[in-house]
């Protein structure tokens, strides 16, 4: 009797699948074309997972040669990680994951002819397009806050040069100064991040500038993880962080760049360093392609992530209306996989599995104190709904929090390897 190994059985099953997919294999000279605009977490994940299937021509369009993760960039601001450790290239994706990367801006999309135009005028034809445009800032919500104001009062809400600018300002700030964080209205990228930023900058101040204060002027009356943050602020940084809700200040209306102050309805606050995180909307190319609705975000089918406004175009990540899913990197990654498998099913007839959507986030309160959440989601009635939630609790032991902070570091390595490839 033959002893069949698992490998042999798998390869036979593979043979059967290959036979089933034969009509497409025969077209290998003319594989279905997928173009992905945006090489952040969403775009890179879709491209990698489609590229791995080797049944489609996958082209990723991204202006930058290096991507810096927003997640963990608050650790950089506190001097706890280098920016280099948060920076990834696309070489592993192109060498090992069967995709092509073009480092150029996509200037336009024509859904009629199914083409993408690049800055140099080249047109790329697609069978399916994925737009992973990330976020843009709403203009006019805070008067005087524009791109040039952001060179003085950084947002640091896209990691990279803006993070470096904010870090330099915090380093050169004198002890006793006030660091003002203007927190945005919902919905926005990474809901706990403004408060994680306050926590980690407080950690930096506590060591090097202990008389300094942090003032958060919020456009909201509540925020994500509020109880966990406020408990930790009392424990680690007593008296250092003050949070003022919208109902108290009436929210920030104007910035005075020269005076480095921010003006609310009732009062002007002078800052030594000001971090203005503006209200957000879907990234520019999503808006230009008319993938956005009146909310400024992109409505999508929660199973395939195909736009409900433009057929043949899928949208993943921070720019979608994600229902219960927060705008987070991990959510984006999970959406991108569901989207990739839906595209593969539609273009190559591969099997479509029920979608499982997840979020997993780690938030630092101090270097050895982090909290986590893990949430599962499911598409239901055209929307994404929460199934189950786990979140760290107030009053957990220092040991539990230390372990969570340790897990976060492993999470980061595994997660970025999933997106940009092992060894990237």
Place of tokens 């979140």: 391
The residue (of 59 and 264) whose beta carbon lies closer to other proteins is 264
- ω before 187 within 30° of 0 (cis)? yes
Per the CB < 8 A criterion, the answer to whether 350 and 53 are in contact is yes
CA angle 92, 95, 97 (to 5 degrees): 80
Give the span between the Cα atoms of 89 and 104, in whole angstroms. 15
201 to 114, 170, 407: CA distances (angstroms): 47, 8, 21
The residue (of 176 and 349) whose beta carbon lies closer to other proteins is 176
The residue (of 234 and 382) whose beta carbon lies closer to other proteins is 234
Least Å distance between CB 230 and other proteins? 6
The residue (of 224 and 328) whose beta carbon lies closer to other proteins is 224
Task: Specify the pairing of strand 213-218 against strand 178-183.
Answer: parallel
The torsion of the CA quartet 201, 204, 205, 210, rounded to 10 degrees, works out to 150
The residue (of 20 and 398) whose beta carbon lies closer to other proteins is 398
Least Å distance between CB 256 and other proteins? 18
The residue (of 42 and 192) whose beta carbon lies closer to other proteins is 192
Least Å distance between CB 223 and other proteins? 11
Phi and psi at 91, nearest 5°, equal -65, -45
Q: How many CB atoms lie within 10 A of CB 112?
A: 6
The residue (of 151 and 242) whose beta carbon lies closer to other proteins is 242
Least Å distance between CB 397 and other proteins? 4
Q: How many CB atoms lie within 10 A of CB 252?
A: 26
What are 158's two structure tokens?
């896209």
Least Å distance between CB 72 and other proteins? 26
Output Rg (C-alpha) for the chain, integer angstroms: 23
Give the span between the Cα atoms of 20 and 332, in whole angstroms. 32
Residue 122 burial (10 A CB sphere; 0-12, 13-18, 19+): exposed
Least Å distance between CB 200 and other proteins? 18
Least Å distance between CB 140 and other proteins? 25
Least Å distance between CB 240 and other proteins? 8
The residue (of 124 and 217) whose beta carbon lies closer to other proteins is 217
The residue (of 143 and 236) whose beta carbon lies closer to other proteins is 236
**Maximum distance among all Cα pairs of the chain, rounded to whole angstroms:** 86
CA angle 11, 24, 15 (to 5 degrees): 15
The residue (of 248 and 358) whose beta carbon lies closer to other proteins is 248
Least Å distance between CB 253 and other proteins? 14
Per the CB < 8 A criterion, the answer to whether 177 and 272 are in contact is yes
The residue (of 265 and 380) whose beta carbon lies closer to other proteins is 265
Least Å distance between CB 236 and other proteins? 11
Paired strand residues for 136: 281
What are 200's two structure tokens?
């980690």
CA angle 101, 413, 336 (to 5 degrees): 50
Least Å distance between CB 396 and other proteins? 6
The 3-state DSSP class for residue 137 equals strand
Paired strand residues for 110: 115
* Sheet containing 100-102: order of strands: 100-102, 57-61, 33-37, 128-131, 313-315
Chain contacts with other proteins (rule: CB under 8 A): 226-227, 230-231, 233-234, 238-239, 242-245, 247-249, 266-267, 394-398, 400
């Amino acid at each position: 009797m033959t002893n069949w190994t698992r490998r042999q059985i798998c390869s036979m099953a593979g043979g059967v699948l290959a036979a089933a997919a034969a009509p497409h294999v025969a077209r290998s000279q003319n594989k279905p074309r997928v173009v992905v605009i945006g090489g952040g977490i969403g775009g890179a994940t879709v491209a990698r997972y489609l590229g791995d299937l080797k049944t489609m021509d996958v082209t990723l369009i991204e202006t930058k040669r290096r991507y810096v993760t927003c997640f963990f960039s608050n650790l950089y601001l506190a001097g706890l990680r280098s920016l280099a450790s948060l920076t990834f290239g696309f070489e592993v994706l192109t060498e090992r994951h069967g995709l092509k990367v073009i480092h150029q801006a996509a200037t336009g999309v024509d859904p009629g002819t199914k083409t993408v135009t690049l800055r140099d005028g080249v047109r790329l034809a697609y069978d399916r397009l994925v737009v992973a445009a990330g976020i843009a800032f709403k203009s006019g919500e805070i008067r005087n806050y524009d791109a040039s104001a952001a060179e003085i009062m950084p947002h640091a809400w896209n990691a990279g040069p803006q993070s470096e600018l904010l870090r330099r300002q915090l380093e050169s700030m004198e002890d006793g100064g006030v660091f003002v964080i203007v927190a945005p209205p919902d919905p926005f990228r990474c809901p706990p991040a403004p408060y994680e930023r306050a926590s980690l900058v407080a950690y930096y101040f506590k060591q090097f500038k202990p008389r300094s204060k942090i003032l958060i002027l919020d456009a909201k009356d509540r925020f994500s993880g509020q109880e966990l943050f406020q408990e930790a602020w009392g424990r680690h940084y007593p008296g250092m962080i003050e949070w003022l809700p919208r109902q108290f200040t009436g929210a920030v209306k104007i910035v005075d760049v020269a005076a480095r102050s921010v003006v609310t309805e009732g009062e002007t606050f002078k800052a030594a360093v000001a971090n203005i995180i503006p209200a957000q909307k879907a990234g520019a190319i999503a808006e230009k392609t008319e993938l956005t609705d009146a909310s400024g975000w992109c409505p999508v089918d929660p199973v395939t992530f195909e736009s409900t406004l433009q057929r043949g175009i899928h949208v993943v990540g921070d720019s979608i209306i994600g229902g219960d899913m927060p705008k987070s990197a991990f959510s984006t990654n999970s959406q991108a996989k569901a989207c990739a498998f839906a595209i593969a099913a539609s273009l190559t007839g591969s099997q479509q599995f029920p979608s499982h959507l997840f979020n997993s986030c780690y938030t630092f309160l101090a270097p050895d104190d982090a909290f986590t959440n893990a949430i599962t989601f499911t598409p239901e009635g055209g929307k994404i709904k929460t199934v189950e939630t786990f979140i760290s609790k107030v009053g957990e032991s220092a040991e539990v929090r230390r372990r969570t902070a340790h897990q976060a570091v492993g999470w980061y390595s595994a997660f970025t390897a999933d997106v940009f490839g092992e060894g990237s």
